[in-house]
Structure 1
Amino acid sequence: MEAQAAASSAAAAAAGSAADGQAARTHLCTSLVATTVDGMLAEAQEAVANGADIVELRLDYLEGFDPERDLPRLVQQCPLPAIATYRPVWEGGKYDGPEAPRLAALRLAATLGVAYVDIELKVATVFFAAKSELPASTKIIVSSHDYEQTASEEELRALVERCYGAGADIVKFATMANDITDAWRVLSVLRACPVPCIALAMGERGQISRLLAPKYGGFLTFGALSPERASAPGQPTLQQLSGMYGLKRQQRDTAVMGIVGNPVSHSRSPAIHNAALQQLGLNAVYVPLLVDDMARFLATFTDADWIGFSVTIPHKQAALEGAQEVDPVAAQIGAVNTLVREEDGRLKGYNTDWSAAIAAIERGLDPATPSSTDASSSPLAGKTVVVVGAGGAGRALAFGAAVKGAKVVIANRSVQKAADLAAQLDPPASACSLEDLASGAVRGDVLANTTSVGMHPQEDETPVPAAALPGFQLVFDAVYTPLHTRLLKEAATAGCAVVTGETMFVGQAADQFKLFTGKDAPVDLMRTVVLDSLAK
């Protein structure tokens, strides 16, 4: 009980200093969602082990909850400062009963010494009618939740004012992000908020509001004990926040990079880039960015401290169009997988896919021959390379193979798109349909899949049937989740050498890291992180 009192006192002091306008660090909070008191207290111990600073007691999750019986145990035995939340159904919670006993339970929690009470804006006036009965040590969070949309910046600022005006020590608002630019509005309001504030954009499109809370001055951010125990959509885990995203390392001037794509949840880019940034001690973080409209994203995320973006499917050609300057090689390829913000704020586009993919294939063909810009010494010189896919990665690999003196064949679902790409290469390549490739009518030395076919969760799919694989010397698959795709398994059975996608992935990421930071990437660490993550 003494430990709980000390913890509550420390947390209340932190809230008080923030309320007085002094800077305070962002706390890491987790919601306890067990259905029993014993289970909730066990989760609290788990939260301690996972680095949480605060826990949220979701009283509405408890089955057969009796405030007089259960709150003394919960408040007094909890090892961390706690937020008492008793969320009603009408605000997205589970409590479906009359208001009077719900508000009475929250007042009791305060009387028992809980560090924080969360009360909804809609009933704040009623709750504060008896504020004189509440101990000054308990700080009140006045909250508002919109599970459908995110309002304009002006409306969000007005919402903050209403919450604070209702008597809040700390303001909380959570909205649904239907586009990543919604999350930007939330972060913009948070950054300028003059009072302690918790601001969250829910859903995967709003995840950056959780990952970057310290940078933008959030009072706290929520992390789940495990993915299945997330209390809101888009909520990362405590381990991800404190480990991968370095929550407690972030500062207001932390630089931000990210992976732009749709989907991005499968990407290992945040894991390897953040590991590299942390090993080198750089004040930067790398985040996933689920983007629907590339032009709208680039027009919104223009702050100088957003220093660069990795770009993946389906935005590589849109990134080319959105860059104010394009590296000559990327311009020739016609696709950009890297955007770097120059000192004048403009974005410059690069392509690191082609060199990484070609180097991986060359090593697969002849490990003893180092990659070289000299086509005559390349293991690819004179070989026929069949590239599956005519998107950004396909364009990059086809360009690289042609540069190394290979004969290139583009196979694509749309033969016209394949023909268009083939005509742009120097020398011009050939084009064929996927049906021609599948029938065995197209032969070659190297088969390179650059599509997403076979990527998790569609691991049972393959871009090329097993019957078409015999005769290829080497098969490369850019997909790396899973590491050993169906295509590569069937290629190995057919007697082909195989090159897994993580080799290209690590290579292009290392080149991006150098462009973003000016530092050489710790390549061995990056490779280890990728392989470890794929083994889980």
Structure 2
Amino acid sequence: MERSQKCLICTPLIAKTVNEMLFQLQLAKESGADVAELRVDHITDFNAESDLPLLLKDRPLPVIVTPRAKWECKADSNEGYEGNEEARQDLLRKAYELGADYIDVELKVAGEFVKKLKDSSIKSSTKIIVSNHNWELTPSQEEIDATIEQMWATGGDIVKYVTTAKDITDVARVFHFLSEAKGRPTIGLAMGPTGMISRLLSPKFGGYLTFGALSKGQESAPGQPTVQDLIEVYRVKSMDRETVVCGVVGKPVYHSKGPILHNRGFAELNLNYVYVPFLVDDFAHFMSVYSESDFRGFRY
């Protein structure tokens, strides 16, 4: 699937069985998602040879096959692929051979993996997402830019750089590298409560896709909104680079009904505005970072 003008909505599926994931795949289609991420590392005793064909046959929407490595998951979590690294990469190769729309491979192993895959005799239209997750913090802009260039150097088709926001101002660095992607398909998100705006505003800053959970309690990463909220409350499918950002500032803030009320009003008035919640610790610091014309109105 080629890059569309609009940011795609991807819903991660974290079912424990193949049958449950097939059911969730249909729900993802019905929810309005554009893509589903098949987190096959969550499936107990997953068998690539028998289970992948079942998941990919007659799929109702494009999919990303992701057997996330344990060493790429949060250190204190129980997530991640249970098999050895060779078996995990064989799973990715099988998904590529079967024509999955996307596969996700981590930067740590992407260089050699992508080269071997593209040098092989396998002919596939599968897009390769090269990903990197920082569960501790959001690095400096220079460090982020250097890592992203390293990711592109692997030969992947799409780059996915995910950080952890300790403060809402960290997200500005995510918006920066998305805006500076120069047409290269890039996914950029910040995890955690203060990183929520990275997911809501990704379409404005040129993100290739953003993630939304199928429902509350089915998030694959902290700070993930639902597909329903992305579409119905924040109208991300109509958001573009010209969208003007307003919002409510506070701590706590996610209980506010402001986004529901204001975004509904913007829709009725046909205004290209969005109203989002900003979880802010230091208001002066927040204002010094988000002072550009893209951000025009805050309610404290």
Shift of residue 136 of structure 1? 3.9
Code of the aligned partner of 1:25: K
Shift of residue 129 of structure 1? 3.9
Match of 2:33 in 1: 52
Query: Which of structures 1 and 2 has the larger relative contact order (alpha carbons within 8 angstroms, sep 6+)?
Result: 2
Are 1:179 and 2:167 counterparts? yes
- Deviation per CA, 1:334-365, whole angstroms, max 9, x where unpaired? xxxxxxxxxxxxxxxxxxxxxxxxxxxxxxxx
Q: Tell me, what secondary structure is at the counterpart of 1:77?
A: coil
Distance 1:255 1:107 in 2: 42
Shift of residue 89 of structure 1? 1.1
- Deviation per CA, 1:362-381, whole angstroms, max 9, x where unpaired? xxxxxxxxxxxxxxxxxxxx
Distance 2:248 2:59 in 1: 38
Q: Tell me, what secondary structure is at the counterpart of 2:225?
A: coil
Aligned residue runs from structure 1 range 205-216, under 5 A: 205-216=194-205
Distance 1:291 1:265 in 2: 11
Aligned residue runs from structure 1 range 419-458, under 5 A: none
Are 1:119 and 2:66 counterparts? no
Percent identity at matched positions? Answer: 48
Match of 1:225 in 2: 214
- Check the 8 A contact 1:254/1:284 in 2, yes or no: yes
Code of the aligned partner of 2:201: L
Higher helix share: 1
Are 1:238 and 2:224 counterparts? no
Are 1:157 and 2:145 counterparts? yes
Distance 2:82 2:28 in 1: 28
Shift of residue 128 of structure 1? 2.0
- Deviation per CA, 1:60-103, whole angstroms, max 9, x where unpaired? 00011010010001111321111010001110142133110100
- Which structure has the greater CA radius of gyration? 1
Match of 1:319 in 2: none
Are 1:94 and 2:83 counterparts? no
- Check the 8 A contact 1:179/1:291 in 2, yes or no: yes
- Deviation per CA, 1:149-203, whole angstroms, max 9, x where unpaired? 0001111111111111111110001010000011111111111112110000001
Match of 1:298 in 2: 287
Match of 2:44 in 1: 63
Q: Which of 111, 131, 135 is the equivalent residue of 1:143?
A: 131
- Check the 8 A contact 1:28/1:54 in 2, yes or no: yes
> Given the two structures, how large is their TM-score scaled by the length of structure 2?
0.95
Query: RMSD between aligned alpha carbons?
Result: 1.1
Q: Which of 275, 281, 289 is the equivalent residue of 1:286?
A: 275
Q: Number of residues paired by the alignment?
A: 292
Shift of residue 24 of structure 1? 2.6
Shift of residue 227 of structure 1? 1.4
Distance 2:115 2:287 in 1: 47
- Check the 8 A contact 2:233/2:264 in 1, yes or no: yes
Code of the aligned partner of 1:123: V
Aligned residue runs from structure 1 range 451-490, under 5 A: none
Distance 1:26 1:48 in 2: 16
